[in-house]
Amino acid sequence: MSLLLKHISLPLAHFTLEVDLETHNRVTAIFGPSGAGKTSLLDLIAGLRQAQTAFIQLDDRVLTDTANRRFVPPHQRDIGYVPQDLALFPHLSVRQNLLYGCKAGTATNPLFTFDRVVEVLEIQALIARAVTALSGGEKQRVALARALLASPRLLLLDEPLASLDAPLKAKIIPYLARIRDEFHIPMLYVTHDRLEALALADNIVVMVNGKVLQTGPVLDVFNRPADAGVAKLVGMETIHPGQITEVKEGLVTVKIGHATLTALAPAVAAHEVFACIRGEDVILQQDAAHATSSVRNRLLARIVALRAEGALVRVELDAGFPLHAYITRPACAELALREGENITALIKAPAIHLVPR
């Protein structure tokens, strides 16, 4: 699949959506905070809104070309769309909702037969029920099935799991993965949830205020954000200004607060930087003063706060600068961590990502 978006310009309430983008990936996550313009971008692709200027091409078919006054109506675009509110008809049964989505001729394609779609999403037991009698997770699966029964060339998913709690999300993500793997339909997946993007997407587009800040393979963007703004969006818990004081053998010495760290030399030469560190990359030990290992950075830190977050504990540290670590609850108990006490924080040099200030 090739999706080309050029010269996109759509004035919105507080900014103008401006996008130039091309993607060839199976699943592209459109990632960013609420109000970034993500849904508006999907609406333009689906043909539900018209831009001031736009060129939108799916494979070899031009869907929108404002310069030449070309606009393919939504129902002729061969695009499946699952909006945030799911748009199921409450007065119809599940079967009637699904049949509404069926496209003539799909019976010749074994991937998109009614029985096949129902089987993959495991909604056989729901067929005769009223939509109003479904749980949130069941409604999600029915909405996905209806979109698939339209035999789309592209599937647009607008924060499909946003209304679900963590346990329900964990149940629905495997169904989305099955759609990705068994139907081979390319997807644009709008989300602001880092775990969803990591679980499902190949590529990611980071958006803020209608602009694309960074795009690339998911792990590359999450591990190597282009700037401090992207670093914050993708969940880097520690982002602190520092100064590079020495460069030697591909490593740099960085002065951060009252501490000195060793990191890999940044791709862009800069003296003033932000040091970005993920909480899960900070290792805590009771006494590492005399330990020998490959870890370059050992910081004596004071425990400022311990905050339970699900199965993990967020440890807020004063290491000469504010530093955050994530550890499991059992690890917290084994280390007998207490607020106000000292601990040693270990950070490998490659785990410190530097971006220019």
Alpha carbon distance 303, 295 (integer Å): 21
What is the third-level CATH fold of 236-356? OB fold (Dihydrolipoamide Acetyltransferase, E2P) (2.40.50)
The rounded percent of the chain whose pLDDT value lies above 90 is 74
Compute the distance between CA of residue 195 and CA of residue 216 in angstroms, rounded to an integer: 17
**pLDDT score of 290 more than 90:** no
Q: Which CATH architecture has domain 3-223?
A: 3-Layer(aba) Sandwich (3.40)
User: Measured between alpha carbons, how far is 247 from 108 in angstroms, rounded to an integer?
Assistant: 64
- How many other CB atoms sit within 10 Å of the CB of residue 114? 17
Pick the more confident residue, 91 or 163: 91
Domain ranges across the chain? 3-223, 236-356
Q: Where are the beta strands (DSSP E) in 165-282?
A: 187-191, 203-208, 211-217, 238-248, 251-256, 259-264, 272-277
User: Residue ranges of the alpha helices (H) in 127-250?
Assistant: 136-148, 166-178, 194-200, 218-223, 228-233
- From the centroid of its chain, how far is CA 172? 16
pTM: 0.87
Distance from C-alpha of 87 to C-alpha of 137, rounded to nearest angstrom: 14
Q: Which of 86, 87, 51 is nearest to 69 (CA)?
A: 51
pLDDT at 294 over 80: no
Kindly indicate the confidence band of residue 107, based on its pLDDT and cuts at 50, 70 and 90: very low
Query: Which three-class secondary structure state does DSSP give residue 217?
Result: strand
Q: Which residue has the higher pLDDT, 295 or 210?
A: 210
Q: Find out whether 205 and 213 touch, Cβ atoms under 8 Å.
A: no
Strand partners, 70: 65
Using one digit for the tens of pLDDT, what is the confidence trace for 210-251? 999 999 999 999 999 999 999 999 989 999 999 999 998 899
Determine the 3-state secondary structure of 193 from DSSP: coil
Q: Residue 61: exposed, middle, or buried by beta-carbon count in 10 A (0-12, 13-18, 19+)?
A: exposed
> Would the CA dihedral through 66, 70, 75, 80 be positive or negative?
negative
Give pLDDT, residue 288.
57
For residues 167 and 135, the answer to whether their CB atoms sit within 8 Å is no
Averaged pLDDT for residues 320-344: 95
Q: Is residue 105 predicted with pLDDT exceeding 90?
A: no
